[in-house]
Structure 1
């Protein structure tokens, strides 16, 4: 179980779309407005975990056109979220983003987030520590994942909020927002490249 917990820690703490958007929205909008989005990520993560546990994810992702569609949707949504972060607080009305996405935004990201499926699949199907009691193993894995997931994401949100509270000059805050948005675009590009490599 300890090995599994360490694997959860290292897989979740690494920057992916959920972590980057959590920190980005924390920096752009503050704690309370971003908390609903983190709740959505939490619900979405658990829905993905349930899909992996029941085998639904494996069935869906075995269909090549559906996997490609999910990847395109994921990259498109990441670009949209990156724009929300980059233009947070902008005075230009057609690109202004005055509020962080809510619960539905978080659920949507996890539903199409390739890292969420990859992490959950490796954690749920690997690290077998109770082969004679699958139900016990699945329940305890879900509890361990959530016990680590919640404080890690709240920590990333707090890190973003800490930047927000520094009350930086608007130009400096804009640079930070744009850098976070570019990091998300980098993750999206890596995910797309990885998918294209798999299809060769």
Structure 2
């Protein structure tokens, strides 16, 4: 039971703490509502669980063998974050009238996880801490992560929906979008700075 609680605590802290995936989920809930944001949440959750399973089955050895691959991921992740920040900064500040295809979806969430070196490191740390070579533990950890990550990311989308209900004026929403865009830029810079 202690192992399950430790795995759950790790998944909760890693999933609920602020980061680029959470910021995008929050803004999607704010501008489109929590239901459309669930596509992004599902993509990010399944993207991370797939990454966790891949690392558990040995993909992390690729990073050990080719450490430059982490640099490629870092740059690609930073560029993707800058792209998302640019889209967010250009948003008009209206609620719900943006085109549906402008809403970050499943693919964006999954891609954001796979291009995030911190997600790779969290997956590698989680596998090293809790799994080792035990495939049953890997399945347990992935199952816990699936539920906890989805719930945590959905909380961010619901928080955005809650703020949406506070009748933000377009000028304030544009200011909030630009603030969130600046945070995404800081995330991108931190990815590049760590290299």
**TM-score band (shorter)?**
0.7 to 0.9
Counterpart residue number, 2:180: 180
2:104 to 101, 104, 110: 101
1:74 to 69, 77, 80: 77
Q: CA shift at 1:180, angstroms?
A: 1.1
Any idea what the Cα deviations from partners look like across 1:66-106, whole Å, max 9, x if unmatched?
22221111001001111222222369xxxxx7421221111
1-structure distance, mates of 2:168, 2:93: 15
* Unaligned runs of at least 5 residues, structure 1: 92-96
1:63 to 60, 66, 80: 66
Moved over 6 A (4+): none
* Unaligned runs of at least 5 residues, structure 2: none
2-structure distance, mates of 1:109, 1:4: 23
1-structure distance, mates of 2:90, 2:36: 16
Q: Secondary structure at the match of 1:55?
A: helix
2-structure distance, mates of 1:68, 1:27: 33
Any idea what the Cα deviations from partners look like across 1:107-130, whole Å, max 9, x if unmatched?
2111111121111111111135xx
* 1:178–1:149 CA distance, 2 compared to 1 (3 A): same
**Higher mean C-alpha displacement, 69-78 vs 119-128:** 119-128
2-structure distance, mates of 1:48, 1:140: 15
Q: Secondary structure at the match of 1:89?
A: coil
Counterpart residue number, 1:10: 13
